[in-house]
Amino acid sequence: MKRIGVLGGTFDPIHLGHLTHAEQVREQLALDEMRLMPAHIPPHRASPQVDAVERAQLVRLALTDYPQLTLDERELGRQKPSYTVDSLAALRAESGPTVGLYFVMGMDSLCAINQWHQWQQLIELANLVILARPEVAPPAPGSEVGRFVQDFGCTRAALLARPHGGIWMMDALHLPVSATDIRAALAAGRSARQWLTPAVADYVEAHKLYVALADERHS
C-alpha cells in the first residue's frame, strides 16, 4: 500500500521541531512521501506575520537540508480559510481510495480538533498521527475529543494497514520549540538560529523577518 504523510502548519516560520517530527513520522511509518503543507489563511488563529508566499519560500529553503521531505502547495492558491478537510478531500481524490493518507499534528492541534471545519470527516479521509507536546496534556477521556481518540485510536501496525480511519499517538523525540518562541526571540533582537535550518536562518536575518519594527524590513 502506498503511504503519504502530510504535516499541515502555519510555519511562521518553519523550525526544527516541524522538520524532525516530519522526518520521524516518515521513518516510523515507512512513508513513500512526507509532505509539508503551509496554510495560506490558517483557520482559528490571527493572521500570520509573514505572508503565505514567503512562508512557503522558507519551507523550500528548509527542504534543501531535508531532501526526503516535499512541499505541498495546494493551500496557497485558495482564497479562503485553509480548511484541512478540503485539502484532504482533494488529496484523496487525486490518490484514490487505497492509498494510506496520514495527517500529522501536535497534541495542541488534536485538543482543539472538534473546533475544525467538518472535523468528523477528517477520519473518513485520512489517518491521524499525533505528536506529543509535553506542555500540552492529552484530551480528557470523557471529553468529546477524548471519546474520538478512544473510538479511533489504534496501534502502529493497524495504522499501517489502513488507508484512513485510525489515530496513532506516536512516541517521538520532542524538540521543545515553537514558532511563537522564535518570533518572540527575533522581535527582542535575539538569535533563533539554533531552531532553524541554516538557509532559513540566513533568509530570516537578511530580510529582517519578525523584527519588532515593521519598517525595519527592506531598509
Ligand X SMILES: Nc1ncnc2c1ncn2[C@@H]1O[C@H](COP(=O)(O)OP(=O)(O)OP(=O)(O)O)[C@@H](O)[C@H]1O
Ligand Y SMILES: O=C(O)c1ccc[n+]([C@@H]2O[C@H](COP(=O)([O-])O)[C@@H](O)[C@H]2O)c1
In the complex, the residues that contact ligand Y under the rule CB under 6 A are: 8-10, 39, 42-45, 82-85, 109, 116-117
Task: State the number of binding residues for ligand X (CB under 6 A).
Answer: 19
If one asks whether residue 177 binds ligand X (CB under 6 A), the answer comes out as yes
| 55 makes contact with ligand X (CB under 6 A) | no
If the CB atoms of residues 13 and 166 are measured against ligand X, the closer one turns out to be: 13
Distance of alpha carbon 199 from alpha carbon 136, whole angstroms: 30
102 contacts 164 by C-beta, under 8 angstroms: no
Cell of 13: 516560520
Give the residue with the Cβ less far from ligand X, 3 or 133. 133
The C-alpha atoms of residue 43 and residue 108 are separated, in whole angstroms, by 14
Distances (CA, A) of 24 to 95, 97, 175, 205: 23, 25, 12, 28
Q: Which stretch binds ligand X (CB under 6 A): 67-75, 87-95, 105-113, 119-127?
A: 105-113
The partner in contact with residue 82, picked from ligand X, ligand Y, none with C-beta cut-offs of 5 to 8 angstroms by kind, is: ligand Y
131 binds, among ligand X, ligand Y, none (CB under 5 to 8 A by kind): ligand X
User: Is the Cα dihedral 141, 143, 148, 149 positive or negative?
Assistant: negative
In the set 79, 98, 180, 219, which binds ligand X (CB under 6 A)?
A: 180
> In a 3-state reduction of DSSP, which class is residue 2?
coil
DSSP character for 153? B
163 binds, among ligand Y, ligand X, none (CB under 5 to 8 A by kind): none
133 binds, options ligand Y, ligand X, none, Cβ within 5 to 8 A by partner type? ligand X
Other Cβ atoms closer than 10 A to 61: 20
Least distance from ligand Y to the Cβ atom of residue 188, Å: 22
Stretch that binds ligand X, among 16-24, 139-147, 185-193, 202-210 (CB under 6 A): 16-24
| Exposed / middle / buried, residue 144 (Cβ in 10 Å: 0-12, 13-18, 19+) | exposed
The x, y and z cell numbers of residue 107, run together, are 497534541
Which of ligand Y, ligand X, none lies near 79, with the C-beta cut-off 5 to 8 A by kind?
A: none
The one among 108, 124, 135, 151 contacting ligand X by CB under 6 A: 108
Ramachandran area for residue 168 (φ above 0: left; ψ -120 to 50: alpha; else beta): beta
CB 109 to ligand X: min, Å: 4
Task: State the residues that interact with ligand X by CB under 6 A.
Answer: 9-12, 17-18, 21, 105-106, 108-109, 131, 133, 174-175, 177-180
